[in-house]
Amino acid sequence: MFSKILLATDGSEYAKRAMEQTIKMIAPYSDQVTVDLVYCIDGDQSKADILKYGDSQIADVKRKEMFASSIDYLEQYEVTANALFLHGESPAKAILKHVKANEGQYDCVVVGSRGRNEFQTLVLGSVSHKLAKYVDVPLLIVK
């Protein structure tokens, strides 16, 4: 049984599918599980948000508002959810660093797969592929 899950999201349709699969996976004991809903912000996105909102604290508030519906959705299924915003050079590196820094805290990492073709994956890489190579806990990749 999982008690603490890291659910990576970017607000995409793939991330929504990952959230739905997480709920199905923990349904029998959802009241005993905590989900950290993680959104990664790279330097360019952080700068854009600060320029848009004029202040880093306001940008954080706006990000939390953006994910409030996702947290509410999880909590409908009696899942305790927390919003975490990770800053780093890439989502994969930020997630890996967070999981390693909180060693033993997460029982599972869940991430959506964008379904890129082989060429796109070769050129761009993918968060799910990098996590599969380096994360030390069970990983669920949802297509």
Highest mean pLDDT among 36-45, 118-127, 129-138: 129-138
Residues 67 and 113 sit within 8 Å (Cβ to Cβ):
no
Confidence tier at 125 by pLDDT (50, 70, 90): low
pLDDT at 80 > cutoff 80: yes
pLDDT of residue 122: 45
What is the rounded average pLDDT for all residues in the chain?
Answer: 85
Domain 4-142: give its CATH code.
3.40.50.620
pLDDT of residue 24: 95
pLDDT of residue 124: 40
pLDDT at 31 > cutoff 80: yes
Q: Is 126 helix (H, G, I), strand (E, B) or coil?
A: coil
Whose tokens are 């599972």? That residue is 108
Read off the pLDDT of each residue in 79-95 and give the average, rounded to a whole number. 88
Whose tokens are 């349904």? That residue is 27
Burial class (CB in 10 A: 0-12, 13-18, 19+), 104: exposed
Confidence tier at 130 by pLDDT (50, 70, 90): confident
* 8-20 tens-digit pLDDT: 988 788 889 999 9
